[in-house]
Amino acid sequence: MKIDILLFNKPYRVLSQFTDKQNEAPADVKLRQTLADFIQQPKFYPAGRLDFLSEGLMVLTDNGALQQRICSPEQKMEKSYWVQVEGCPSKEVLQQLANGIELSDGLTKRAKIQRLKQAPPLWQREPQLAQHRELNSQWLNISISEGRNRQIRRMFACVEHPVLRLVRHKIGNWHLSDLEPGQYKKITVNLPKNISKKW
C-alpha cells in the first residue's frame, strides 16, 4: 500500500500543531509560530508531537492508521534524539537512564543511549547557548520506544543533567537527512496493508 507522508524539520520555539490556543487571547498577546506557518498541505496532520523548545523530525500523514501506528506506545516505534545536556553524565548515570528512570507517571522503558565524541552536524540555533554552558556540556544519542510528555527532558532532570538542546533525528526508518529547519518534503512510502503490525 502506497501512502504519501511529509517529513518536516520543526524549528526551535514552534508549536507542533496547526493552531495556537493563545489565539483566543487579547490582541496584544504575541502568537507563537505553528505548523501552519511552514506547511500548507490540506488533510495532513502530525503523527505525534515535539515540544515547543525541541527541534527536528516530525512525520505528518493523512492516514489515520499510520498516525496511530507511529503514536501508539504499544507499537514501540523507535525514535532517536540528539541530546545536549549540562555537565558530563557518568557511565553509571547513562546505565541508569538506559535501564529506566522512575518518573511521576511510572518507570520508563529501557532506552539505548550512547555518548557522542563530538557534536552532531546541526544548524546554528537562535538564540545560541552561552559559551560557558556550551563548554560544560555533553552530546548524547538516545533512542526510546515510548513517547510520554517531555519524557527525555524529565529523564535527564531526574539525574541532574538538564537538557540544553534536544533534536529528534529519526522516527522508525525515517531520517531527518538534509532538511533545514522549517523545510519539509513529501515522500511516497510502501507500507503493508495491515499498518498496525510491526514492520
Q: What is the pLDDT of residue 120?
A: 97
Map residue 135 onto helix, strand or coil: helix
Of the residues 4, 51, 105, 178, only one is catalytic, namely 51
* Buried-exposed string 27-58: b where 16+ CB fall within 10 A, e elsewhere: eeeeeebbbeebbeeeebebbbebeeebbbbb
Q: Is 20 a catalytic residue?
A: no
Q: What is the pLDDT of residue 65?
A: 87
Q: What pTM value is reported for the model?
A: 0.92
In the DSSP assignment, the letter for residue 83 is E
- Extended strands (E) in the chain: 2-10, 45-46, 55-61, 79-86, 102-103, 106-107, 112-115, 137-144, 163-171, 174-175, 184-190
Q: Which residue has the cell 501552519?
A: 36
Tell me the chain's radius of gyration from C-alpha atoms.
Answer: 17
d(CA 192, CA 151): 30
> Hey, what domains does the chain have and what are their CATH numbers?
1-76+173-199 (3.30.70.580), 78-171 (3.30.70.1560)
Residue type, 102: E
d(CA 48, CA 172): 13
d(CA 89, CA 50): 24
Blockwise average pLDDT, block size 10, the chain, 199 residues: 95 95 60 94 94 98 90 82 98 98 95 97 92 93 93 98 98 95 95 66
